[in-house]
A = this chain, B = another copy of it.
């Protein structure tokens, strides 16, 4: 058994790094214990269609209370919705109690856990999303024996539980009882709490922290409902938010090692990792933007912890990612996005034609600088001594080929596309700064033809860019308006996709499958913690 497990670990580890099997063991050793907490429903609710409510549905408190269901006969066709009062990740249990005679036939129940009211009340058939229908957390179960506890094997995420009674027998009566939720997280204690002058900002921070803690399991998951896996881009933002909240750097270390151990055979990182049945990457999911952010995560981890041993150990992996990025450069120091088949994710707006030439030029510059900084801290600048000059050349090339001096914005690709994302990353990479940066950001954000951010992920970089560009008040207002908009719409946790002008936005063509607790939206806690003068 142990021998075969070892074989699996060795087989899964990267062929490029001789130490990768060892790295996997380090990652497994750093796997955190989960904290458990038990929750019971706080109220019953009834769904009301309401065009003014987010996604068209609102929950109103029902007259029935959760404890009253203990003695209420279940009847075919009944629908009961329980509200646990907060977002939870974990395992649902319930029991049934025989009220009259004895069970003479099985029950059939549909148990549907959801994060948002509309998710639970929008017809799912016909299924319109291009993701699996099975992501919806509705399980149909047969209860063969009443008066015993049933625990659903599936880990669930959500706040509301809708129970539909699909079958009962007329010859006995029973009730649904003992609903209980065993909530799990590895986050620990939020030590970064700070009250601001704005109650809404305080709410935003609280929702951010919940979002992060729900995603902190045995890895930093992107979303505990979906995809339930480790993505390098989400990891970067989570690790930043973690600094100003849970300071659980052991989890960051585990995730850094997992990516390194499970790199592709050419040493490039794979964008996302599954933990079960044994850690493995999503084969072929090469996404250079995320690989480069792994370098930044390692740098930030080193700054947070002083764990030079880890950083030295993983240095070669970081260097491999920037080296890989450099192979895309043209002789003019332009990143050629068409050179190879590669996914360069910046925002889900890619579906709407977001051109990533300019953002990728900037992201590469940023990565070179971050990696050089890492080398400096590790005393290894000799290995990457050309990075500063390459970055400088790339900056000049960007200004020459992508900057429209008349309009004061970066334009991306042969179509000279104007997007907020291009300005954001240009600022982050230092291509634009000061007044130029402010002009570029303001112009793109106000031009009705410009592509705007479509996710909290892209919005994070925009807020950061505003701060870097010297627009602190605008950054504060934008963050409060954007994340506060979710709070006003009833968010218990921040969402994967949010557009203030489109409640039904979905990267998957069907909003109920959106994740409503998504790591990449948790960064207000980072901004509030890092910039107390701005987010006062």
* Chain B contacts for A135, CB-based, 8 A: 105-106
What count of chain A residues pass the 8 Å CB interface test? 42
Q: Is A276 an interface residue (CB 8 A)?
A: yes
Q: Are B105 and A274 in contact (CB under 8 A)?
A: no
Choose one: B104, B166, B227, B280; the contact of A282 (CB below 8 Å).
B104
Of the stretches A40-48, A136-144, A461-469, the one at the interface is A136-144
Q: Are B142 and A101 in contact (CB under 8 A)?
A: no
Instruction: Give min CB distance, A514 to chain B, whole Å.
Output: 14
Instruction: Give min CB distance, A108 to chain B, whole Å.
Output: 4
| A343, B109: Cα distance in complex, Å | 32
User: Interface 1/0s, chain A 82-120, versus B by CB < 8 A?
Assistant: 000000000000000000011111111000000000000
Q: Are B167 and A132 in contact (CB under 8 A)?
A: yes
Given contacts A142-B154, A145-B276, A154-B142, contact A227 B132 (CB under 8 A): no
| A105, B130: Cα distance in complex, Å | 11
| A107, B133: Cα distance in complex, Å | 8
* Chain B contacts for A132, CB-based, 8 A: 105-108, 167-169
Q: Are B142 and A139 in contact (CB under 8 A)?
A: yes
Q: Are B283 and A76 in contact (CB under 8 A)?
A: no
Q: Is A284 an interface residue (CB 8 A)?
A: yes
Instruction: Give min CB distance, A33 to chain B, whole Å.
Output: 22
In the complex, residue of chain B having the shortest beta-carbon distance to the beta carbon of A272: B104
Q: Is A532 an interface residue (CB 8 A)?
A: no
* Chain B contacts for A153, CB-based, 8 A: 144
* Chain B contacts for A131, CB-based, 8 A: 105, 169
* Known interface pairs A102-B283, A133-B166, A139-B140; 17 further A-B residue pairs with C-beta atoms within 8 A, sorted by A's residue number: A101-B282, A104-B274, A105-B135, A105-B226, A105-B227, A106-B134, A107-B134, A108-B134, A127-B167, A130-B170, A132-B167, A132-B169, A133-B167, A140-B140, A142-B154, A144-B153, A147-B277
Pairs A–B under 8 Å by Cβ, sample size 16: A76-B127, A101-B284, A102-B280, A102-B282, A102-B283, A104-B282, A105-B132, A106-B134, A107-B134, A108-B132, A131-B169, A134-B166, A134-B167, A145-B276, A145-B277, A171-B282
